[in-house]
Amino acid sequence: MKIITLGETDSLLGHYLAQIRDRSIQKDSLRFRRNLERMGEIFAYEISKTLHYETVETETPLGIAECRVLTNPIVLATILRAGLPVHQGLLNYFDDAQNAFVAAYRKYGAGNECDMNIEYQSCPPLEGKILVIADAMLASGASMLMTYESLVANGEPAYTHIVCPVASRDGVENLSKNLPHKHVTFWVGAIDEELTNHSYIVPGLGDAGDLAFGEKN
């Protein structure tokens, strides 16, 4: 799996990353969602540089212009609910893309053991397409791996891009060990070194779903 950490290079993504981490700015849920959306747009632009294009003739009011246009069929997938703002940013740029949605949740058992479960999936056929999976954070990587396996049951994509503004080192290593090495790129804003026993990323940013959409039961 190829790993690209955009936050290592100076750009506006680092500015938005600082704001989604800032506990005072986080109090404005509209701004928090918009910053995740902006980061999704930046990820989309960077991903677009890796795709295939062809030259077409476009008629203008004054003549014919040769333009380079995207040819890859794209499916944008997200893990509900925290990934929705990032997904919207990707969709703002890949506006002709098909969309997929996965509801994954943690189920705690005796001894506080945690299992991941897929409750719902809506996905078009993926065979030969470019799959982009978005989530706000990658903690242990368990939900992302389960989501990937659930999605590719709908066909083998030509290539998969995974997008997360913030990830833990453990989660990235988990994906690296368990995803196809030649056909997946992981795009991340920042990789944090600490993951607690309860799968909280430190310094992280808190619960992205709650910050974006309000607390849940």
SS3 content of the chain, % helix, strand, coil (to 5): 35, 35, 30
- Residue 101 is encoded by which pair of tokens? 């949605």
Residue 128 tokens read as 């030969």
Determine the pLDDT at residue 94.
98
Collapsed DSSP state (helix, strand, coil) of residue 23: coil
Specify whether the CB–CB gap between 133 and 82 falls below 8 A.
no
| Identity of the highest mean pLDDT range in 98-107, 112-121, 131-140, 191-200 | 131-140
Query: Is the pLDDT at 203 greater than 90, yes or no?
Result: yes
Residue 116 has pLDDT above 80, yes or no: no
Question: For residue range 54-98, what is the model confidence (pLDDT) as tens digits?
Answer: 999 999 999 999 999 999 999 999 998 899 999 999 999 999 999
Query: In this structure, which CATH number among 3.40.470.10, 1.10.287.10, 3.40.50.2020, 1.10.238.10 belongs to the domain 2-52+65-213?
Result: 3.40.50.2020
Q: What pLDDT was estimated at residue 108?
A: 53
Instruction: Name 214's Cβ contacts closer than 8 Å, sequence gap at least 6.
Output: 29
pLDDT in tens, 120-171: 889 999 999 999 999 999 999 999 999 999 999 999 999 999 999 999 999 9
How far is the C-alpha of 5 from the C-alpha of 99, rounded, in Å? 25
What is the residue extent of each domain of the chain? Answer: 2-52+65-213
Does pTM top 0.85 for this prediction?
Answer: yes
The pLDDT tens digits for 166-196 are: 999 999 999 999 998 789 999 999 999 999 9
Question: What are the structure tokens assigned to 177, written together?
Answer: 């060990």
